Amino acid sequence: MKIATAGMIVLVTVLFGALAASTCSAGEPKNISSTQAKALLAKDKKIVILDVRTPEEYGQAHLHGALLIPLSDLEKRVQEIPRDRPLLVYCAVGGRSVSAAGFLAAHGYREIYQISDGLVGWYKNGFPIEK
């Protein structure tokens, strides 16, 4: 009986490990600072910049070239986001973009960066914004 129980524990552990490995694949969002995001944008011109704030917030200030899809609309507009390019997701301070990045990863997007200090951090660092 002890051998069967030990064998079951090993089997469950192996299966759980395989599941965890497949879940934490290349699609896991990467939290980066606004300083790291600026360097990333300078290095890779193919990045899609996704703003998940409201249209009112976007109208006040946004990153150059950002695609606006508010978090509340993301599920119904996800098909507008290219799957073959890296994504840089941001909001005001990082809360909504974490949710958006997780949603995108769960829907098969592979290279996702999330600005942890948001547009507020970007602005505080003196980086350019559009109004």
65-76 pLDDT, tens digit each:
999 999 999 999
Tell me the mean pLDDT in the region 27-44: 96
Tell me the mean pLDDT in the region 55-69: 98
In this structure, what CATH number is given to the domain that contains residue 96? 3.40.250.10
Token code pair at residue 123: 């602005």
What is the rounded CA–CA span in Å between residue 88 and residue 21? 24
Q: How many domains does the chain have?
A: 1
Assigned domain for 72 exists = yes
pTM for the complete prediction?
A: 0.80
Q: What is the pLDDT of residue 26?
A: 58
Assigned domain for 5 exists = no
In tens, the pLDDT along 5-26 reads 333 333 333 333 333 333 334 5
What is the rounded CA–CA span in Å between residue 2 and residue 12? 15
Contacts 24+ apart (CB under 8 A), 60-67: 60/131, 61/119, 61/123, 61/129, 61/130, 61/131, 62/119, 62/129, 62/130, 63/90, 63/119, 63/122, 63/129, 63/130, 64/128, 64/129, 64/130, 66/90
Domain region containing 107: 27-124
